A and B are shown apart, each in its own frame.
Chain A
Amino acid sequence: MGVGITTKELRKVYTSPPPMAAGVMGFSMMGMRGSAPKNKKAFEIVALDGISLTIHPGEIFGLLGPNGAGKSTTIGILTTRVRPTSGEARIGDFDVWRQQVESKWLIGVVQQRPNLDFSLTAREILLFHGAYYGLGSAERARRAEGLLERFQLTTRADDMVRGFSGGMMQRLSIARAMVHEPEVLFLDEPSTGLDPQTKLLLWEIIREYNARGKTILLTTHNMDEADELCHRIAIVDHGRVIAQGTPAELKASIPGGYLIRLHVGRGSAELIERLQQLPGVTEVRGDSNAVDLYADRGGPLIGAIVSTVGDSGTELCDVNISEPSLENLFLHHTGRSLRQ
């Protein structure tokens, strides 16, 4: 029987710069407050602003969002490394903050940045990790051997990891998190820095692991990864969940699905209104020269768009059509691109 994850109204406010436990480099300063000199604490960052999630046992769940959205902080709290300011986080039946050791037995964690033990060889890293979880020496050795092989690290197994490439370190980090066969696996940006081939290997391994009934929570800012791998996704931005569901549901929830972005010489309310009248167009947003159309079709609309823009007396500089995607969903909810 698998183990699920729940969070209720999870909040985290940092009153000093987030240290390593949050594992965040490009932390968003969007939520920063309190620069007024009278304030006692000049530094305050709202990293999480009421995150509630229910992740079912045996699910691959993705947290999708830009840098600084609160993904790593969520993982930090769920893995006992970050103290929540308020709210509740549970792994299975255990309250993560109050029952830390019980929770730690159930989880495996891959952090965003490799954090391998540089004083050891690849094999020793896996063996000692197994020992920390009380595995017997024969069992440790067997599992280490299997994982080294699965992650294609056998030839470098007895080398010190100091000289490993970024991709090899990342593979070893993931292998290490699997040694004790945790019920819940946390992967913070697992495919960052991996070449396409290794990324596919990783996806395959994640699916295999999930097929054994294990729950996986991964964060990513890569839409393809979320789309390809996750059963369900939560899109987070500025410490809040802005949309949640299966990739298909989420994509279907964008009005029209297709996004047609126009660059025009000079936009106007009249132009937006006329575009809105076109068949199949569900929503139009725009400012002076950028106009976004949500529609149920892409290419077939272009002729009508060109003539509408032409009729309104301005020039059409650029047209970009994108198919229904999570990127468009994010754009729809936040007005910003995920990659920004």
Chain B
Amino acid sequence: MNAKTFLAMLARDAHVARRNLWALLTQTMLQPLLFTFVFGRVMTGAGMMPASYKGMLVPGIMGMSMVMTGIQAVSMPLIAEFQFTREIEDRLLAPMRIEWLAVEKILAGMIQALVSGSVVMLAAWLVLGAGVGLNFHQPLLFGVVMLLVALFSASGGLMLGCSVGQTQIGLMFSLVLAPMIFFGCVYYPWSALSGFPILQRLVLLNPLVYASEGLRGTLAPQYPHISIAAVAGALAVFDAGLILGGLKKFYGKAVS
């Protein structure tokens, strides 16, 4: 790999992200914070939800923000750059194997997902006020889960960005991302699905389930959650599959 070229591309992505900082922050923060405010503050305040719901909600919202940020940060530019504006060609011609450009995209997406997760966590904490009940007793495990979730989001973005056409972006949101969020154990723990045994097994195919449950298990282990080992194993499998599949798709798009 040519490190200078790789870093220059990372610098380019950082430069563009800085330029679009406010738009990016709004895109990342607004929806999660509205959810947090309505469910965590208004509804718990009105007594319609128990106060303990706050701590249950924050890890789920974090997982959702990270996954959505990473997927969007990688897939949306790729869809446009490959199909319409062809902006990516200059970088494909740079003196570096083209697979490294895909790796750079994953790395840039991971960084954005990690920043998004951290910012949303802090902001949600502020919005919810007292009694959130998060703890950092397992910093190492928490870090591992964060990295695996970020890697999932960015490699998922690579895979989607190289599979979805410009005209199918709307479908991507309504068919892939929306069901993923609602059945991703964001607003409820996985154990809450025990009344729907078939659904409970089916949602195990949804990687967001492991993101939410993993963050719940490391940040708020007092709530029921899937074991961290199972979460880490499942995320690692998803990550590996998406990286390999994404790189292959990327290469297929770049070279005819």
Residues of A within 8 A of B (CB): 14, 18-22, 76, 79-83, 100-101, 104-105, 107, 109, 111, 113, 115-120, 124-125, 128-129, 131-134, 176
CA distance A125 to B90 in the complex (A): 10
Distance of A204 from chain B, by nearest CB (Å):
24
> Chain A residues with Cβ under 8 A from B31's Cβ?
none
The answer to whether A117 and B255 touch across the interface, beta carbons within 8 angstroms, is no
The answer to whether A19 and B95 touch across the interface, beta carbons within 8 angstroms, is no
**In the complex, what residue of chain B is closest to A130 when comparing beta carbons?**
B8
> Chain A residues with Cβ under 8 A from B37's Cβ?
none
The answer to whether A104 and B255 touch across the interface, beta carbons within 8 angstroms, is no
The answer to whether B94 and A133 touch across the interface, beta carbons within 8 angstroms, is yes
Distance of A39 from chain B, by nearest CB (Å):
21
CA distance A107 to B91 in the complex (A): 13
> Chain B residues with Cβ under 8 A from A83's Cβ?
255-256
CA distance A80 to B9 in the complex (A): 19
The answer to whether A132 and B97 touch across the interface, beta carbons within 8 angstroms, is no
- Which residues 91-115 of B sit at the A interface, judged by CB distance below 8 A? 91-98
Given contacts A104-B93, A132-B91, 12 further A-B contacts (CB under 8 A): A20-B89, A21-B254, A21-B256, A81-B255, A107-B93, A109-B93, A118-B85, A128-B12, A128-B15, A129-B90, A131-B11, A132-B8
> Chain A residues with Cβ under 8 A from B87's Cβ?
115-119
> Chain B residues with Cβ under 8 A from A132's Cβ?
5, 8-9, 90-91, 94-96
17 contacts between A and B (CB under 8 A): A14-B256, A18-B256, A19-B253, A19-B256, A20-B86, A22-B256, A80-B255, A82-B256, A101-B96, A104-B96, A113-B86, A115-B85, A128-B12, A131-B8, A131-B12, A133-B95, A134-B95
In the complex, B166 has a CB within 8 A of chain A: no
CA distance A79 to B256 in the complex (A): 12
The answer to whether A119 and B256 touch across the interface, beta carbons within 8 angstroms, is no
Distance of A120 from chain B, by nearest CB (Å):
7
Distance of A110 from chain B, by nearest CB (Å):
10
In the complex, B140 has a CB within 8 A of chain A: no
> Chain B residues with Cβ under 8 A from A129's Cβ?
90
The answer to whether B86 and A100 touch across the interface, beta carbons within 8 angstroms, is no
Distance of B176 from chain A, by nearest CB (Å):
23
> Chain A residues with Cβ under 8 A from B96's Cβ?
101, 104, 132
The answer to whether B5 and A133 touch across the interface, beta carbons within 8 angstroms, is yes
CA distance A19 to B86 in the complex (A): 11
Distance of A55 from chain B, by nearest CB (Å):
19
By size class, the interface of chain B is 20 to 34
CA distance A94 to B202 in the complex (A): 52
> Chain A residues with Cβ under 8 A from B88's Cβ?
115
Distance of A96 from chain B, by nearest CB (Å):
12
> Chain A residues with Cβ under 8 A from B253's Cβ?
19
CA distance A8 to B95 in the complex (A): 24
**In the complex, what residue of chain A is closest to B97 when comparing beta carbons?**
A101
Q: Name the 4 nearest CB pairs between A and B, nearest first.
A: A131-B8, A132-B94, A115-B86, A134-B4
Partner of B16, one of A18, A111, A120: A120
**In the complex, what residue of chain B is closest to A111 when comparing beta carbons?**
B89
Distance of A255 from chain B, by nearest CB (Å):
40
Partner of A101, one of B2, B9, B91, B255: B2
The answer to whether B95 and A101 touch across the interface, beta carbons within 8 angstroms, is yes
CA distance A215 to B38 in the complex (A): 65
> Chain B residues with Cβ under 8 A from A116's Cβ?
87, 90
